[in-house]
Amino acid sequence: MLIVIILSLVLVTMLLAFLWFYSYSRTPEWGDSETRKAVLRMLIVIGPIFGMHYRAPRPEPPTISAPGGDEEPAVPGLVLPPPRDDGG
C-alpha cells in the first residue's frame, strides 16, 4: 500500500511540474532566457546521434532588377492575325 501512495505522489508531482512548465514556456521570459538557448544548443549537439541533423536555411540568391521601359505592356492573351497578302 505504501508503494501505491509513493507512486501516486510521484505521478502527481510530475503532472504538476509539467503543467507549470507548459504555462511558463509560453511567456516572454522563457523565450528570452539563457536556459532555453542552452537547451537548444544541446539539442543541436545531441540530435545527430538520433539522426536529426540541423541544416541552416539556404540564403536567397541575390537578384538584380532594372526599371522597365517606357512602352506600354502588351495585353496578355491578345493575338493579332497576320496581315492579308491579297491587298484586300
CB 26 within 8 Å of CB 36: no
* Domains of the chain by residue range: 2-50
Q: Can you give the pLDDT at residue 2?
A: 93
DSSP string over 34-53: HHHHHHHHHHHHHGGGGT--
Q: Can you give the pLDDT at residue 85?
A: 79
Could you report the per-residue pLDDT of 45-66, keeping only the tens digit for each?
Answer: 888 888 877 787 888 888 877 7
Q: CB within 8 A of 55, min separation 6: which ones?
A: none
Q: Give the C-alpha separation, 70 to 47, whole Å.
A: 56
